[in-house]
Structure 1
């Protein structure tokens, strides 16, 4: 993607595309809010592609039951779609049970602190929620770990542009 961005003129010299850190992902998801979700303390299936159980009294509606086209649900205050619901998203970081805090810690190269999974490998962090999840898993702070070698139809990614 970085090479394509340069060829099309969409990515300035000295920048690259990559997966976001967990901190970058949550910052983008929250879009300046401090509430449970970017839409407030409630979330319903009219705001995100999740199972039909709303979070904290949000509006209930029919569940789509599959991934939706990007932009099918409202964007957050920064214009980002599907930060809640649709597909969970990979992050750059290895999963650490306790995050170190600070201003955007990048845990990509830091040895994982969580125990190895059943295959004997370590897990990567993923954020957000999917159409397979209930709305409570869509809170901005919700995080999970998963083996990077596994593939499912409810896991995706988004890229960030960063200076090298």
Structure 2
């Protein structure tokens, strides 16, 4: 199963008419380019790394350098926030989720993709993963839904949080 396709379905479900969408951790902008092309979307992509922002901007996307822990947007600015395989790299997950909650409008949706933890490594309770994500998200969001997927590259979870 294609995890990005499932994330797009979640984003599409969350959109009502014209929607403002934010991607945090856009990397080279491949997914950002696809979100930007969705009808009725006003889109901004962010990444911590300047070189990734440049690559995303080269795809015609409004890409900006930003730290997920200090998002440079007004409260309630976005209808949807998307984070694909980003949260497990965040140094302060509680601060990052608070920022995502802050920039989402009331009733907005956060869509996150993450991998299952590698069972061979020691579990780290602060790391966002398939196993810890629901608990972490439920501290900031009332309605957290999870969809576990088996993909060719391993187990992935799509979270939808409102």
TM-score, scaled relative to structure 2: 0.29
User: Which structure: greater strand fraction?
Assistant: 2
For CA contacts below 8 A with separation 6 or more, give which structure has more relative contact order.
1
User: Which structure: greater helix fraction?
Assistant: 2
TM-score, scaled relative to structure 1: 0.29
Of structures 1 and 2, the larger Rg is shown by: 1
